[in-house]
Structure 1
Amino acid sequence: MNCKKSFFSRLTTMAALFTLTGVVSAFGAEAPAAKPAEAVSPTTVVAKVDGIDITRGDVDRATKILLQQNRMTQPLDAETSKKVEEAALNQLIAKELLYQAGKKLEIKDIDKKVAERVAQGKARFPSTAEYEKMLKEVSMNDKDVETFTREELVIDNLLDKEVSSKITVTDAEAKKFYDDNLDKFKRGEMVRASHILIGVDKDATPEAKKQAKEKAEAILKKLKGGADFAALAKDDSTCPSKARGGDLGFFGRGQMVPEFEKAAFALKPGEISDVVETQFGYHIIKVTDKKAPETVKFDEVKERIDQYLKQQKVQQAIQQYIQELRGKAKVEILTP
């Protein structure tokens, strides 16, 4: 599902914009929704951007993709349907403005890059049949994919050179954001634990569960006798963490299944639990460290804050850039 959603974004050639809150609203009520699809031909022109046509079919396709992205599968009422169509048309207008501006910048080996990106997109699907099914769902074909991918590359190049590369975040801005939002950087109690899992399916027979539990109890007995936890984990655990001696690293509350979490947080560093049953089987847990609740230090989160603030600035800059392009272009909203 994730690969599909990602590819839907790419097929619109507006991946950088579709994920940015507010870009759609850059044109607001200026772009009224076209008439319902059944009332007009897909080839009917509903808008023009410097003479380039946007058709009813283009809007319908963009609308389908928006619905897919937002997982809106239920029938829409008239008002919601109108808003979705407005958003689709606004995106198409923004895309065309950016594409026309981007074509003025040279991209070396663009044909090769288009082919590579199309191939990467196809590779995200488990089979050719799944890929073709996706195309059918959004009324597209291979030629459309190639065209839209080319547009995406042109727009990405434009936004990188004209917008993103010019955006910076100062240390002072990052520190101010941190100081103003200290509540967002509080971290609850954390525990570091290792475990030995004797896996058994939750739907296994009573006899299989009994055997798995007995094996876990036998391992626990060895541990109480002084056996090395990491060595037994490597030998007997069915969890991939066995390669690390059962180490799961640090985790907070809500990250593990309830039974496991309750047992882990009840232990002190160095202590080993009794056999704990979860949906995955039977665990023996050893807590190796704990961290008390704390506020994460600025240096630990500075990079993430920088990325977040830059994204916010890029969103605003793209909106402003599109408005500037629109001010120089001739955009016509037509009534079919």
Structure 2
Amino acid sequence: MKRITKSIASSTAALLCLAGCAGANKAAIPAPAPQAQAAEVKEAVQFVNGVAITRADVERASRVILSQGGSHQKNSQEKMKQAAQTALDQLTTAELLYQEAAKIEIKDLDQQVEKKIAETKALYPSPAAFEQALKGSGLTVEEMTRNTRKTIAINTFIEERFASKTEVSDADTQKFYQEGLDKYFTKPESARASHILVKTDEKMTPEEKQKAREKAEALLKRVKGGEDFAAVAKAESGCPSATVGGDLGSFGRGQMVPSFEKAVFDMKPGEISSVVESQFGFHIIKLVEKHEAGKVSYDEAKAKIVEYLKAEKVRQAVMSFVDELKSKAKITRV
């Protein structure tokens, strides 16, 4: 199920990327100063119906594309060249969409822009941190505001022109579910557990380690005797999960250290383990629930399938529309 969720996110991100990369160089509201327009023309690498896409635009978008690749190594010249071409293609597409979006009226556009900017600023601990991040991205507040305005306009246009008119039938979702049953709709064996940890480390003497074990045995005796497990975990556990009563949430096989995992999957819900040793120390584990591997039912998966199929239909419709716009547009490479 995680894989289809990831696919949904990728499809949605593709549309948002097109919107987010909208060129910041059109004389829109607020209009750039004449000097800025002249500078943009001088730095242009391409014109889309007379609107400049600048070298700075391409370089900024290229950095985003390269960072999404997940590689921390130095990028090759070929990879940088490919990223620059992808960036230019995305900026061109976004500019064409914005030129269409600018034709529709969005009554609360100013309020939406203000809200989005405020939400972005709230992600940073201080105004200075926000300014620093903005500077690092090579944007001014004015450019960010203008780009946000264009992004909202494009998203609104896509919603009104395509998404609101796109439907997914039950037959479509049923077909996708049946064809993807083995690939997408499986759920692995999983468990939810809480634990109390008495920490140890490699610097401890045998005597200190023995005392840690004895403490764990004493805590085990308390919870086996009826004391509330979560309360003991909050008071005694050396794991950060102590703040939530030792709750580790749900996890599957391969996510915990072997000795811990074996103890968990050998238990029945409600059981408390004996003291379990790992490289982190001594654990007392309470199994909350356990689920066998199996299939995700159609009813469970349907909402995600509808979301995915709708996003795909919208993406395809938008791309077809963009191809039509490109066939009519005047696009000049400098």
Same fold by TM-score greater than 0.5? yes
1:99-156: CA deviations, max 9, x gaps? 1111111112322322221222122233444433433333222221111111111111
1:252-298: CA deviations, max 9, x gaps? 21343433212101223443212224465532113344333222211
2:65–2:83 CA contact under 8 A, matched in 1: yes
**Aligned position for 2:156:** 157
- Tell me how far 1:311 sits from its aligned partner: 2.1
Q: Residues 108 and 194 from structure 1, CA distance in 2 versus in 1: closer, same or farther, beyond 3 angstroms?
A: same
Q: Secondary structure at the match of 2:290?
A: strand
| More deviation, 197-206/65-74 | 197-206
Q: Residues 317 and 204 from structure 1, CA distance in 2 versus in 1: closer, same or farther, beyond 3 angstroms?
A: farther
Cα RMSD (Å) of the superposition? 3.2
Residue 150 of structure 2 aligns with an amino acid whose one-letter code is E
2:200–2:282 CA contact under 8 A, matched in 1: no
2:48–2:92 CA contact under 8 A, matched in 1: yes
| More deviation, 201-210/315-324 | 201-210
1:97–1:325 CA contact under 8 A, matched in 2: yes
> 2: CA distance between counterparts of 1:208 and 1:111?
64
**Aligned position for 1:310:** 310
| More deviation, 49-58/127-136 | 127-136
Matches within 5 A, 1:28-43: 43=42
Q: Residues 286 and 75 from structure 1, CA distance in 2 versus in 1: closer, same or farther, beyond 3 angstroms?
A: closer
**Aligned position for 1:82:** 81
- Tell me how far 1:82 sits from its aligned partner: 2.0
> 1: CA distance between counterparts of 2:209 and 2:128?
40
Residue 126 of structure 1 aligns with an amino acid whose one-letter code is P
Matches within 5 A, 1:61-140: 61-140=60-139
> 1: CA distance between counterparts of 2:210 and 2:42?
67
**Aligned position for 1:31:** none
Q: Residues 283 and 148 from structure 1, CA distance in 2 versus in 1: closer, same or farther, beyond 3 angstroms?
A: same
When the two structures are aligned, how many residues end up with a matched partner? 300
TM-score (norm 2): 0.76
Residue 304 of structure 2 aligns with an amino acid whose one-letter code is R
> 1: CA distance between counterparts of 2:56 and 2:41?
4
- Tell me how far 1:248 sits from its aligned partner: 4.8
**Aligned position for 2:170:** 171
2:186–2:296 CA contact under 8 A, matched in 1: yes
> 2: CA distance between counterparts of 1:202 and 1:327?
67
**Aligned position for 1:11:** none
**Aligned position for 1:26:** none
1:98–1:155 CA contact under 8 A, matched in 2: yes
2:62–2:80 CA contact under 8 A, matched in 1: no
1:22-70: CA deviations, max 9, x gaps? xxxxxxxxxxxxxxxxxxx993322111111122232222223323333
- Tell me how far 1:249 sits from its aligned partner: 5.4
| More deviation, 284-293/114-123 | 284-293
Residue 54 of structure 1 aligns with an amino acid whose one-letter code is I
Q: Secondary structure at the match of 2:178?
A: helix
Q: Residues 205 and 163 from structure 1, CA distance in 2 versus in 1: closer, same or farther, beyond 3 angstroms?
A: farther
Residue 146 of structure 2 aligns with an amino acid whose one-letter code is T
| More deviation, 303-312/145-154 | 303-312
**Aligned position for 2:57:** 58
| More deviation, 47-56/125-134 | 125-134
1:47–1:53 CA contact under 8 A, matched in 2: yes
1:64-113: CA deviations, max 9, x gaps? 33233334554433332221111111111111111111111111232232
1:142 matched to 2:124: no
1:270–1:286 CA contact under 8 A, matched in 2: yes
Query: Runs of 5+ in structure 2 lacking a partner?
Result: 1-12, 20-39
